[in-house]
């Protein structure tokens, strides 16, 4: 099945031009000027009407609460919300009930997701049983079924445990996604261990100016590490709403934006963490934001004169590279994981219209930018708001 997407504003890390994209089943087979497209008689033609056509988004960090917390989220509800937000690949953290700590637990979730045929799921595995930094999980076996090992939600305080985890990440080739609280102390410790031992370190949800500077200096010294920034740590400051790490000061927000501009920050990840109203009243930390993440990021990027190419690099290209996926660019031979979006319209967050099972957000009524029009995974339309023919 060959589909031509014509009149498309093609945007990725390297490109921003008006052209045509051709998809044959799951793969992009052409991207370039419409006049040069060799597929003159496709099975389908979609007029993109000048809207942006980008690689769909890859979330390196989200919580789908499945198994164990269906009142908060399930694989199905979380993936429906993700598709509405332009995401087709989700890295779901392991703090489920029971904790995803074994190859069988990881495979159970990935196989269920495959049967649903919605998003691609990378189910992360715990670094320690019950998310404790005492007894390590079987890294050799887990590395065969997942790319990410993480105790996210719980900080690894043990220097010995973290040292062994870094060594194992080199031995078995997985990424360590960290949860750092207190942030400055743990990030400094992890960078020091990385310098000594090596490893594949990805620092989750950085929120402080000092943390961004630590990462900047570590990279300047030649260390190989990555980090991510969430929507809420860019969209708010001095806000009394419980998330981990906390929403910081205006100076911290400015420092995170600077880290995006100068390349210190690598990825934009949602840390989508749904909770019931009752749990939020009890003080549990988390925000449901995967379906609004693009709109928040576009608002922040536009207000700070950051390009859509940089946005695509951080939401698609770099995560794809880290996950060893043949995705993240609008390029011949790459997966046809695509999002079509109006990147210029203004809108508002309306929590009562959220698709996620949980609507925990402090941003109800806030103005945002852009709107996802269509989300395509493996060449198949998974979300369509009806505006495209």
Q: How far apart are CA 340 and CA 382, in angstroms?
A: 12
Look up tokens 């840390």; give the residue.
Answer: 271
**What stretch of H or E contains 18?**
strand 16-24
The catalytically annotated residue of 66, 152, 271, 337 is 271
Q: Residue 223 to residues 73, 219, 246, 260: CA-CA distances in angstroms?
A: 37, 5, 27, 18
How far is it, in rounded angstroms, from Cα 227 to Cα 368? 24
Q: How many CB atoms lie within 10 A of CB 224?
A: 11
CA distance 31 to 34: 8
Residue 217, SS3 per DSSP? helix
Q: How many CB atoms lie within 10 A of CB 315?
A: 28
Backbone angles phi, psi at 112, to 5 degrees: -65, -40
Residue 303 backbone dihedrals phi, psi, to 5 degrees:
-65, -20
Comparing CA positions, the residue from 345, 328, 359, 330 lying closest to residue 387 is: 345
What's the CA gap between 151 and 172, in Å, rounded?
17
Tokens at 22, concatenated? 């051709």
Which residue, 51, 11, 2, is CA-closest to 310?
A: 11
- Radius of gyration, CA atoms only, the chain: 20
- For the question of residue 240 being annotated catalytic, the response is no
Q: Which residues are catalytic?
A: 271
């Amino acid at each position: 099945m060959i589909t031509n997407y014509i009149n498309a504003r093609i945007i990725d890390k390297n490109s921003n031009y008006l052209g045509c994209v051709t998809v044959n089943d799951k793969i992009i087979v052409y991207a370039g000027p419409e006049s040069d497209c060799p597929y003159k008689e496709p099975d389908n033609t979609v007029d993109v009407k000048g809207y942006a056509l980008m690689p769909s988004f890859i979330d390196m960090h989200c919580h789908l609460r499945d198994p164990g917390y269906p009142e908060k989220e399930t694989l199905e509800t979380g993936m429906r919300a993700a598709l509405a937000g332009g995401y087709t690949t989700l890295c779901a953290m392991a703090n489920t009930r029971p904790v995803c700590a074994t190859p069988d637990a990881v495979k159970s979730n990935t196989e269920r997701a495959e049967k649903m045929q919605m998003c691609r799921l990378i189910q992360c595995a715990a670094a320690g049983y019950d998310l404790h930094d005492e007894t390590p999980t079987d890294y050799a076996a887990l590395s065969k079924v997942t790319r990410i090992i993480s105790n996210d939600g719980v900080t690894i305080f043990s220097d010995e445990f973290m040292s062994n985890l870094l060594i194992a990440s080199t031995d078995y080739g997985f990424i360590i996604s960290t949860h750092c609280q207190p942030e400055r102390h743990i990030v400094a410790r992890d960078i020091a261990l990385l310098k000594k031992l090596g490893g594949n370190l990805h620092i989750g949800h950085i929120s402080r100016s000092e943390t961004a500077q630590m990462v900047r200096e570590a990279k300047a010294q030649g260390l190989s590490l990555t980090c991510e920034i969430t929507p809420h740590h860019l969209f708010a400051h001095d806000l009394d709403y419980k998330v981990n790490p906390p929403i910081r000061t205006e100076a911290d927000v400015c420092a995170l934006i600077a880290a995006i501009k100068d390349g210190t920050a690598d990825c934009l990840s949602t840390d989508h963490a749904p909770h019931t109203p009752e749990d939020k009243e009890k003080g549990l930390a988390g925000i449901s934001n995967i379906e609004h993440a693009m709109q928040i990021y576009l608002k922040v990027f536009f207000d700070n004169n950051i390009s859509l190419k940089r946005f695509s690099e951080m939401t698609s290209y770099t995560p794809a590279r880290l996950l060893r996926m043949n995705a993240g660019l609008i390029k011949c031979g790459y997966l046809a994981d695509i999002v079509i979006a109006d990147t210029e319209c203004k809108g508002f967050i309306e929590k009562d219209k959220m698709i996620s099972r949980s609507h925990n957000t402090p941003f109800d009524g806030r103005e945002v930018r852009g709107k996802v029009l269509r989300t395509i995974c493996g060449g198949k339309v998974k979300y369509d708001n009806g505006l495209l023919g």
